[in-house]
Structure 1
Amino acid sequence: MRLWLKIAREKAAMTHEQVAEKAIISRSYYTNIESGTKTPSVKAAKSIAMVLGVPWENFFNDKCSFKEHSGEEVG
């Protein structure tokens, strides 16, 4: 799971559907991205990042993914 993405979405008080609609992607695609089962295209990553105000590079950050999948802090 991309916990940082879930947190950003919750801070924005948005549902999966709302983020997907604003990012112009399907809700199921967004859900798979947030859950970590899909890696977004650069275009989708930039669109989601714009909607939620996060860096689009987070989607492709190895340390971010390692931290979230292992449960370990990476500093």
Structure 2
Amino acid sequence: MDAKTIGQRLIKLRGDKTQEEVANAVNISVSALSMYERGERIPRDNIKIRIASYYKRPIHKIFYP
């Protein structure tokens, strides 16, 4: 699981939405989302679930190669 690859996937999924909009919907801070997208951190499992649910994608398609 490569943090940079996950970050690129998250940016692509976010599309035209703002980081603030996605962070609020997933109930995380904008700075946390930003770190995930830059590949500086990988979200904890409970946050992975919320992100996958928000984007209506299976968890493994976003977070696992």
TM-score by length of structure 2 reads: 0.78
The corresponding residue for 1:54 is 57
How high is the sequence identity, in percent, across the aligned residues?
27
Equivalent-residue separation in structure 2 for 1:56 and 1:4 (angstroms): 12
1:8, 1:54 within 8 Å by CA — same for their partners in 2? Answer: no
Equivalent-residue separation in structure 2 for 1:49 and 1:14 (angstroms): 15
Three-state SS of the structure 2 residue aligned to 1:39 is: coil
State the Cα RMSD in Å.
Answer: 1.3
Deviation string, structure 1 residues 7-63 (Cα, Å, up to 9, x no partner): 1100xx31111111000011100111111100101111111111122222222x2x3
- Structure 2, unaligned runs of 5 or more: none
User: Across the two proteins, how many residue pairs are aligned to each other?
Assistant: 59
Runs of 4+ that moved beyond 6 A: none
Higher RCO, 1 vs 2 (CA within 8 Å, ≥6 residues apart): 2
Equivalent-residue separation in structure 1 for 2:37 and 2:52 (angstroms): 12
Q: Could you say which structure has the larger radius of gyration?
A: 1
